[in-house]
Chain A
Amino acid sequence: MKQLARSDTLREKVEELSGQNVFACYQCGMCSAGCPLSEEMDLLPHQVVRGLQLEDWTVMESNTMWICASCLTCEARCPHGVDLACVMEAMRQLYLRKSLDHIAIDKLTTEEIARLPQIALVASFRKKTG
């Protein structure tokens, strides 16, 4: 079995985490055309995959992966069976693993903790696990 080695490139990391071959994508754009949320994205889903093919780290700064709701419409229609929801999740994981901008729980006041939705707290803990 192939060892899960720490890879250096963005593409390899995403492929390793998602189990998808980003080079299977031939940029037909069917994912973007059918995505119910693509209007809210600053990069369309196919552009994100193109960015990965080009090893362009700026895709990590786009809001696309955070808008993706994993509805799997793209995956169901993709002619090459690329599971974009998996790719987006892999990118989210990579981002979270950097442990950026997480909430310092110990600095929160009791009042703030009471006001915060529980799920937000859970999410911020998750960011620390990367």
Chain B
Amino acid sequence: MPQPRIGIFVCHCGLNIKRTVDTQAITEALGEYPGVAFATDYDYMCSDPGQRLIKEAITEQRLTGIVIAACSPAMHEPTFRRAAEEAGMNPYLCEMANIREQCSWVHQDREAATKKALRIVNTIIEKVRGNHPLEPVEIDHVNKCLVIGAGIAGIQAALDVAESGFAVILVEKEPTIGGHMAQLSETFPTLDCSQCILTPKMVEVSRHPNITLLTYSEVVNVSGYVGNYTVTIRKNPTYVDPDKCNLCGDCENVCPESTESEFERGLVQRKAIYIPFRQAIPSSYTLDEETCLGLRPLRCNECAKVCDPKAIDYDMLPEIIEEEVAAIIVATGYELHPISSLGEYGAGLIPDVIDGLQFERLLSASGPTGGEVRRPSDGKIPKKVVFVQCAGSRDPEHHNAYCSKICCMYTSKHALLYRHVVPDGEAVIFYIDIRAGGKGYEEFVQHAIEEERILYLRGKVSKIYREGDHVIVWGVDTLSNRLVEIEADLVVLAISIDPHPSNPILSKVLKISCDAEGFFKEAHPKLRPVESLTAGIFLAGAGEGPKDIPEAVSQGSGAAAKAVTLLVQEKLSHSPEVVDINENICSGCGICVNMCPYAALAVNGGGVAEVNEVLCEGCGTCVSACPTGAAQLKNMTTKQLNNMIEVALRDV
């Protein structure tokens, strides 16, 4: 075997590494390391000149392997491996020594950090010495995409993927698609009617030949890997055949049981058999088994008796559907923070203290009041409305630490629309800061203040209580330093946005992580905002963080584009750094089979373990469990690992 000629490239990462690690000293020391033919350092190794430096050295110095001493491999390993490949080197002969995240960023003592950096690089040199050229594993994939959640983000994502010519399965938990956007009256900053811009998209989804719509359904299990996920979906029974239901509403009229309407946010009651709103898709009634008087064992049977088209089937069962998909887009959306937790604002017990979505319903032409603003307690038109922003947001002590982002804009819109509907009404908004970053947003707020004479008071409301016919609001105006007490007719709370309650369940099913607040975590907050850390799973909409409609739509399209880039590839590739079984010494004991968390191993007919290279993630659990040493990770053999440990412990 020819002598190794290893190249070392030490990156300063601006000052990120150089400030704490003496890059020049380690470059010099590394040049002396056995097997090292070339060592150099540079400001930004990942930049174009940096990569050129690497490529030139590979060719000119006839290098057999390279070590980039820089950041985490999670950051730039693909970048440098691509550079190595372009210079004619097998990319798996390029390794990264992480002297940033694991050294310079976490230490202050320059001398000690420099020594540690040297040790880190030395271990990786030992690894590279034992590396072999590898070829990526190729995978066939199916051509479908799953979208979870059919709010505006999911709808947009599904339409974009479907328009690109791929099949989409769109799963929605609720009986209708449309999400929260369907509840909105008019949308900021242009005041388009929400239904007018959303319902055509909902219809498009239901009619698109490439989209299979599954409403009232939940994703219960996901297995497999990018390109070949197996998804189990449970379609809950609606007890109404959507093909037969003609929306006559006779069933609803005779149904004796009612409950709070979710769509109208409890402002009115709905029957046990109901349609969330007239434009719902699918255009069919749903029988809610929780509220139904006696679905089983006793049946009141009133609805079935009057149903002419015989659409009601009490014996409908949940349907379990299995689908193979290549990519998954998660667009679960948000829910409002529980009003019951806001004790000082009445905890939801004061009828005339409502949340923003309830106010949307009051403003909506299709809402329970037909667009007239009438307060819930007595149906009177409120002449003085107080809007309270940051109800539960920016409050790390009791509620959510983050800004819910959309409330400043929708509160401004609420006040403006209220003034349009009740021209002699007075609108007061309590705010802490106005965050109106967005195209036309600041202008919208300014317009509301200037033209609609909406009084903005800078201060957080401390207490809201009921007194007679009024709701008393205790606030302050911190600009004039005056205490403010208002006798309001109606109070609208801009309640904080919570991640959708299904986020923790789905994060387990999909094996993707959530952040501390419970929103899905993106692969990189700036550069990979629509991807999860699991290959083939993408994120869209408010399930990833509070978002307004334009952002949710953009992210929906972004996630769709990412899914399509995956779907159009003929074959997907998988890292070849997987386990390799030496059949000559494998005893077929099967211990590895039980240990493998990815179900990548099986004992074959020949009595030896066999690896499914596509499923193997190279974690090495089997290697440590194998009693004979037959299981070895490619390019991370026990021999390599021992050498690495030895140099790590050696003095530098």
- Footprint of B on A, CB under 8 Å? 26-35, 38-39, 43-44, 46-47, 73, 77-81
Contact = CB atoms under 8 A, between A and B. Distances in A.
Most buried by A among B395, B458, B476: B476
Given A28-B459, A79-B394, A79-B396, 11 more contacts: A26-B394, A28-B390, A30-B460, A32-B481, A33-B462, A33-B474, A33-B483, A47-B481, A77-B344, A79-B460, A80-B395
A33 to B, nearest CB: 4
30 contacts: A27-B432, A27-B478, A28-B432, A28-B478, A29-B478, A30-B461, A30-B476, A31-B462, A32-B462, A32-B483, A33-B460, A33-B461, A33-B463, A33-B484, A34-B344, A34-B462, A34-B474, A38-B483, A44-B476, A44-B481, A44-B483, A46-B476, A77-B344, A79-B390, A79-B394, A79-B396, A79-B397, A79-B398, A79-B399, A81-B397
Interface string B460-474: 111100000000001
Nearest to A43: B481
A26 to B, nearest CB: 7
A95 to B, nearest CB: 22
A129 B582 CA distance: 83
Nearest to A81: B397
B483 A39 contact: yes
B178 interface: no
B475 interface: yes
Contacts of A44: 476, 481, 483
Contacts of A38: 483
A78 B458 CA distance: 16
10 pairs of A and B residues whose beta carbons are closest in the complex = A34-B462, A33-B462, A79-B395, A29-B459, A28-B460, A29-B476, A30-B460, A81-B397, A33-B476, A29-B478
Contacts of A30: 459-462, 476
A39 B458 CA distance: 18
Residue among A28, A38, A44, A73 with most chain B CB within 10 A: A28
A33 B475 contact: yes
Contacts of A80: 395-397
Interface residues of B, number: 23
Contacts of A31: 462
B290 to A, nearest CB: 36
Nearest to B461: A33
Contacts, number: 69
A112 to B, nearest CB: 39
Contacts of B476: 29-30, 32-33, 44, 46
Contacts of B396: 79-81
B397 A29 contact: no
Q: Which of B398, B458, B483 has the most CB of A within 10 A?
A: B483
A35 B398 CA distance: 19
Contacts of A73: 462
B398 to A, nearest CB: 7
A53 B460 CA distance: 19
A26 B463 CA distance: 19
Nearest to B457: A29
A38 B462 CA distance: 13
Contacts of B395: 79-80
A72 B155 CA distance: 49
A72 to B, nearest CB: 13
Contacts of B459: 28-30, 32-33
A34 B397 CA distance: 17
Contacts of B478: 27-29, 32, 46
A81 to B, nearest CB: 4
A86 to B, nearest CB: 15
Nearest to A74: B462
Contact of A26 (B432, B461, B481): B432
Contacts of B458: 29
Contacts of B397: 78-81
A45 to B, nearest CB: 10
A26 B395 CA distance: 11
Nearest to B484: A33
Nearest to B432: A28
Nearest to B458: A29
Contacts of B394: 26, 79
Contacts of A33: 459-463, 474-476, 483-484
Which of A26, A33, A78, A79 has the most chain B CB within a 10 Å cutoff? A33
Contacts of A29: 458-460, 475-478
A49 B394 CA distance: 19
B453 to A, nearest CB: 23
Contact of A77 (B462, B475, B481): B462
Nearest to A35: B462
Interface centre among A30, A78, A80 (most CB of B within 10 A): A30
A42 B398 CA distance: 29
A47 B461 CA distance: 16
Contacts of B484: 33
Contacts of A46: 476, 478
Nearest to B394: A79
Interface in B467-502: 474-478, 481, 483-484
A49 to B, nearest CB: 11
Kindly name the residue among B398, B462, B475 whose own CB sees the greatest number of chain A CB atoms within 10 A: B462
Contacts of A34: 344, 462-463, 474
A40 to B, nearest CB: 11
A31 B398 CA distance: 15
Nearest to A79: B395
A77 B462 CA distance: 7
B481 to A, nearest CB: 6
A46 to B, nearest CB: 6
A29 B481 CA distance: 9
Nearest to B478: A29
Interface string B528-554: 000000000000000000000000000
A96 to B, nearest CB: 27
A52 B633 CA distance: 61
A118 B395 CA distance: 44
A30 B463 CA distance: 9
Contacts of B483: 32-33, 38-39, 44
Contacts of B481: 32, 43-44, 47
